[in-house]
Amino acid sequence: MEVIAVSREDVVLQRPEDVHFLVHVFHTPTACPGAATAYLLRRIAYRAGAYAPGIQEQIFHELHTSREGGTIEKVQLWFTSRSASLSELGYRLQFRRVSTPTPAILDWVRAGRGYRGAMLPTAYRKLHPAAGASGTGGDMAYHAVGITIDRLTAQAEEDLVMIDPWPGVHGDGLERSKVPPELEAAHREKAFQALVYYWAGWS
């Protein structure tokens, strides 16, 4: 039997971005801003090597409720109140509220190489024009999507990905997709408002 000696110099450390880690997209018609934010915070923390499902999942789950995650204002308040708790858990997550055109936000997220993300309030009908797509009897007042760096498949290259917490009830919507051309128009109707998230040092 041949024995092969391996030194420490021969070992290549695996980085978080070397593994395709799939975060579950929580579907909700009443807390899209919060659900998109919860997804983004998990992805950013994983890229930083800090995500470990546990007690912090209870904190993130708060964002899946309309009370904490129903609007951009509620999510902003949640993050402000929870920043100390997240820091104690080793999550060096930061955020800013901005009013910035969509292309500039996309470029900013792309340059972050997975350490940045953005939650964009959007006009639902612009992204899902089919009649009755929302299943709520009309347009959704507080729809939002997340923008992150991810792989759509395990074999694909990393690129900008849009996360949609409520892809519709017709079965043809996607919870994870390439950023569609319609996103800018949908974001413009919400005055280009956004919450941008980043790991400390990647602002």
DSSP H or E stretch at residue 47: helix 32-47
Higher pLDDT, 135 or 20: 135
Strands 176-177 and 193-199: unpaired
Burial 156-176 (b: 16+ CB within 10 A, else e): eeeeebbbbbbbbeeeebebb
Domain assignments of the chain as residue spans, ordered by start: 27-199
Distance set, CA 48 to CA 24, 59, 167, 174, 196 (Å): 18, 19, 28, 27, 16
- DSSP-assigned states of every residue in 83-106: HHHHHHTT--EEEEEEE--HHHHH
pLDDT reading at 2 higher than 70: no
pLDDT reading at 87 higher than 60: yes
pTM of the model: 0.87
Quote the DSSP letter at residue 155: T
Q: Please give the average per-residue pLDDT across 22-33, as a whole number.
A: 92
What pLDDT was estimated at residue 135? 85
Q: Report the share of the chain in percent with pLDDT over 90.
A: 68
Distance from C-alpha of 121 to C-alpha of 139, rounded to nearest angstrom: 13
At 35-47, the pLDDT tens digits run 999 999 999 999 9
Strand partners, 108: none
At 116-167, the pLDDT tens digits run 999 999 999 999 998 888 887 666 889 999 999 999 988 899 999 999 999 9
The CATH architecture of the domain made up of 27-199 is Alpha-Beta Complex (3.90)
Distance from C-alpha of 37 to C-alpha of 58, rounded to nearest angstrom: 14
pLDDT reading at 64 higher than 60: yes
What pLDDT was estimated at residue 11? 42
What pLDDT was estimated at residue 1? 47
